[in-house]
Amino acid sequence: MQGAAAWGSKPERFRVIPMEEGMTLRNLLVRRLRGLDRDQAANLVKAGGVYVNRLRVRLPMVRMAPGERVTVYRRALEVRALAVNDLSIVYRDPSFMVLDKRSGVPVAPTRSSARGTLTEALIEMLKAEGVERPYVGVLHRLDRGASGLVILTTRGAANASFHRQFLTHEIRRTYRVLVSGEPPEAVRCDAPLLLLQTGGVKIASAGEPSAKPARTRFRRVGVRTHGGQVRVLVEAEIETGRTHQIRAHAAHLGFPVVGDRRYGATSSAARPAVPSDLSAERGLCLHAWRLGFAHPHTGEALELESPLPRWAEPESD
């Protein structure tokens, strides 16, 4: 099998021609894509790396029609499924769960793959428990390279309460973040963010109509030697939950997150142009540490914590 490095991150695209009418998607991929056998083609579809007319298709034997547009991300073949045993459940209720995500694992399907995610592993766990047609709802995201607490619903009845709590900022989210530079003892950032079509965000200019408000509070809590250099450890609390909010705000204030390949560069020109779902921020020092919210059905106040990674603990004097 060819490696992901050889294939690259760009998708391959083509249209079904009249002579390919009725051909299965699996066989079509074998015909059109060099170096792909029937087993690999079927696995690629099952991994969520193939779209037909912008719709992700995971059935290898679906029949094709002339004119349909096919988009293929071969990198999906390199993604391994997340084992059910690798799920770390911090809190479980019949209608939702709080999981402790490890760094490098996506919460939900990415553009290039539906495999290896928390949602897929949770669905497999529910199936193994006898749940028919299990449902998993994603309420908020946590960057692939980040670690820590994330809420997933397993019954739609819990969604309304959680959405209201997110909207009214009643859900309290506290992160431990290791940064470069010299952050002040305490600072708040209200810079609005603009979502980019290529993935990620940027600090919006005044008056940009598509900009979204974003508020992050940072508090310095200590130092930590990391990679042979002394870095500063901060706590970040967010009122809004925008894409890459903490990372973008920290970089904007002059203390980028350690391990951040997207926003850690000193200028936008120096940042790698990498799609958001393929950035693979290995070693991103951002951990969702504490999570506080009201139980969606009983109203009970819940305060949950994730064990701190070693890098997130201040060094003793």
Annotated catalytic sites, by residue? 143
Q: How far is residue 36's CA from residue 50's CA, in Å, rounded to a whole number? A: 14
Neighbouring-strand partners of residue 293: 302
Distance of alpha carbon 219 from alpha carbon 236, whole angstroms: 7
Residue 174, beta-bridge partner list: 237, 290
Nearest alpha carbon to residue 78 among 101, 105, 122, 112: 112
The CA angle 295-240-105, to the nearest 5 degrees, is: 75
Query: What is the Cβ-side half-sphere exposure of residue 251, based on CA atoms within 13 angstroms?
Result: 21
Lookup: tokens for 296: 């969606």
Give the containing element (helix H, strand E) for 30.
helix 25-32
Please report the DSSP string for 238-276 in residue order.
ESS--TTHHHHHHHHTT-PBTT-TTT-SSSGGGS----G
Which among 219, 171, 166, 212 has a CA at the least distance from the CA of 191?
212
Task: Answer for the pair 45, 60: CB distance below 8 angstroms, yes or no.
Answer: yes
